[in-house]
Structure 1
Amino acid sequence: MTDATASGIPTGPIDREPLDYPTADYPSATDREAILRETFRAAGVELGAYDDRIAVWLAQTADWSTFAVIASWVQRAAQPTKE
C-alpha cells in the first residue's frame, strides 16, 4: 500500500484495494465520519446542509476501501501540485 495518514487514509495514488489499516479493527461509522470531517476541514472544504447529509451517509454506508479512496481523493486534491 502507498503511505497513509495516522487515520489510514492513503496519501498517494492507489493501485490496489486499500485493505491495510493501522489497527486490528476498521473505524466505526462515527470514527469514519470524524475522519471525513477532518479531511474536509484540512482541505478547506465548506459543507452545506446537503453536503453534510451525504458525508454522514458515506461514513455510515461505505466499506473501508471505498471510504478510504474517496477521502484520499479529497486529501490529495487539496495538496499543492508538484511541478
Structure 2
Amino acid sequence: MTATESGIPTGPIDREPLDYPAPGGYPDGSRKAEILRDAFAQAGIELGAYDERIAAWLAQTADWSTFAVITSWVQRAAQAGKETDR
C-alpha cells in the first residue's frame, strides 16, 4: 500500500492501515489534527466552526486505522476532483 509521508494511504485500502512511518508508535491527537488540517487545506476545503470541532474530535478519538482511512478519503476525493477538472 502506498502512503504519504504522514502514513495516509494514497489509493484503495484492502487491509487495515496499521503502518505509520515514524518509529515509536502512532501519532498523538495533536499530530493527527495537523495531518487532517493539511489534508483539508490541500483539498481546498474551507471549514466552519462546527467542522473544526468535529475534525478535532476525530483526531483525538479515532484510532490510527480509522483516522488514516477517513483522511485518505479526503485526499483521494480531492485528487479525483482535480483529475476530473483536467
Q: TM-score, normalised by structure 1?
A: 0.93
Query: What is aligned with 2:40?
Result: 40
**Map 1:60-79 → 2, pairs under 5 A:** 60-79=60-79
Computed over aligned residues only, the root mean square deviation of the Cα atoms, in angstroms, reads 1.0
Q: Distance in 2 between matches of 1:64 and 1:4?
A: 14
Post-superposition offset of 1:81: 3.6
What stretches of structure 1 of length at least 5 have no aligned partner?
none
Residue 50 in structure 1 maps to residue 75 in structure 2: no
**Over residues 42-66 of structure 1, what are the superposed CA-to-partner deviations in whole Å (9 max), with x where a residue is unaligned?**
0001000000000000000000000
Residue 14 in structure 1 maps to residue 13 in structure 2: yes
Name the structure with the higher helix share. Answer: 2
Determine what percentage of the aligned residue pairs are the same residue: 70
Give the match's secondary structure for 2:76.
Answer: helix
Aligned residues, how many? 81
Q: Distance in 2 between matches of 1:71 and 1:5?
A: 11
Q: TM-score, normalised by structure 2?
A: 0.90
Q: Distance in 2 between matches of 1:21 and 1:44?
A: 25
